[in-house]
Amino acid sequence: MPEFLELLPPRDALARWMSSLSFSIESEEIETTAALGRVTSQAVVAAEPLPAFPRSTVDGYAVKAADTYGASDALPAYLQLIGEVPMGAAPEITLGPAQCALIHTGGMLPQGADAVVMLEYTQTTGRNEIEVLRAAAVGENVLKVGEDVDAGEVVIPAGTRLRAAEIGGLMALGFTRVRVAPRPRVGIISSGDEVVTPGQAVLPGQVRDVNTYTLSALVEHNGGIPVCYGITPDREEALYSKARQALDECDVVVISAGSSASTRDLTARVINRLGEPGVLVHGVNVRPGKPSILAVCDGKAAIGLPGNPVSALVIARLFLSPLLLALQGQQVRQEPVRLKARLTLNIASQAGREDWVPVRLEKDCSDGEAIYRAEPVFGKSNLIFTLARADGLLRIPPEANGVSAGEVVEVELLE
């Protein structure tokens, strides 16, 4: 049985693959309302300050701060109430000495005012006069012009994945359209004579296609567009024809195949026929997922995944996810959410190999300290519910021989 020529550590394999690709980020303009999760292709520069005028952050009275100095419950300051600030319009009043104006949250400060006293710290006397029971500092309860954003400021750099907060910020500045990187198209091919569609009744020896759907979900989660090419039999010409079509129509080709040596070699041969330089990595020193292929075919990325669902998904998280972010020009990779947990069982590992172990998390407050327990979910790499029952993955580094029960470990949460 042929063996892998070289088993690379995952980080080295990823670096070799990514360095062989050219990331030229294109751009398209879309409605901001449709931009959640998209990555900006150019910086967004504010054309105006935000706020554009000084505004109150509370309901109260616009005042000159100096008129309130020394005010207290026992010795209030008395101010003349000369009017009310209208909402949605510039006030026409100007404060003179010992004068104030009623103002609501978001209202524009009138001329002469430099602070706002909250209603809770005032009393009305009934003669167009208020008592101020607490001194106000200059700028108190006031948003200054440009306090959030200055005109000309880069508010969203290029390569930023837009979240709800960025969508709101764009709208606040009047950007109803935004330029973003196109979503990369990812061609997904499942191969195997034993694989059938999920809606089909399985006969002895057959299994339903899982990888097309888990990989599609992962692609969408990372901003890509999954393009499914169906199930292909383990025949070189059939697989090549489907892979050729996918490479012509997509930015990335993903083939999930069986884990036997024969299917590994078949996938590698097909990928090498697609274009130069072909296979760059054939075998990664990781479990699960050692029989993985990373390739570049005439400038486009291709990846061969094991057919076992757990292996395929773990390897796709390690390699396909960062590739998709790079293809969209995302400058700062969103690190997976991690939390610390205490391991409940010993886990053995082979030194020199990186292991990823599914774990189930349960909060433990028994010793007065809130911490999670991490219970390993043991199962072979062709059992998809091994991952479905897990909350996260525990990485055992290659320099370790395993992890002992009771150790506090870091768990990477599954999305």
- What digits encode the pLDDT tens for the residues 352-411? 888 899 899 998 766 666 689 999 888 766 667 778 888 889 998 888 888 999 888 889
pLDDT value at residue 370: 61
Q: Going from the N-terminus, what domains does the chain have, and what CATH number goes with each?
A: 10-26+182-327 (3.40.980.10), 28-50+149-180 (3.90.105.10), 55-143 (2.170.190.11), 338-413 (2.40.340.10)
Query: What percentage of residues in the chain have a pLDDT greater than 90?
Result: 71
pLDDT value at residue 147: 93
Which range has the worst mean pLDDT, 41-50, 106-115, 341-350?
Answer: 341-350
- Find the helix or strand (DSSP H, E) in which 305 lies: strand 300-306
What is the chain's alpha carbon radius of gyration, rounded to the nearest angstrom?
Answer: 31
62 in Cβ contact with 56 (< 8 Å)? yes
Give yes or no for residue 415 having a pLDDT over 80.
no
379 in Cβ contact with 393 (< 8 Å)? no
Give yes or no for residue 289 having a pLDDT over 90.
no
pLDDT value at residue 259: 45
pLDDT value at residue 155: 96
Closest CA to 311 of 293, 291, 288: 288
Give yes or no for residue 149 having a pLDDT over 50.
yes
Neighbours of 233 (CB within 10 A): 12
Does 277 sit behind a cis peptide bond, omega within 30 degrees of 0 on the bond before it? yes
Mean pLDDT (whole number) for 64-71: 96
pLDDT value at residue 1: 34
The Cα–Cα gap between 102 and 119 comes to 9
Mean pLDDT (whole number) for 29-49: 96
Q: What share of the chain is helix, strand, coil (3-state, %, to 5)?
A: 20, 35, 45
- Give Cα separations from 332 to 158, 160, 328 (angstroms): 10, 7, 11
Tell me how many degrees the CA angle 142-143-144 measures, rounded to the nearest 5. Answer: 110
pLDDT value at residue 390: 87
Mean pLDDT (whole number) for 151-176: 95
3-state secondary structure of 328: coil
Please give the single-letter amino acid code of residue 334.
Q
Query: What percentage of residues in the chain have a pLDDT greater than 70?
Result: 94
Neighbours of 204 (CB within 10 A): 4
Neighbours of 176 (CB within 10 A): 10
The Cα–Cα gap between 315 and 183 comes to 21
Neighbours of 337 (CB within 10 A): 11
Mean pLDDT (whole number) for 194-199: 92
Average pLDDT, whole number, for the chain? 91
pLDDT value at residue 2: 43
- What digits encode the pLDDT tens for the residues 171-188? 999 999 999 999 999 999
Give yes or no for residue 290 having a pLDDT over 60.
yes
In terms of phi and psi (left: phi > 0; alpha: psi -120 to 50; beta: otherwise), the region of 201 is beta
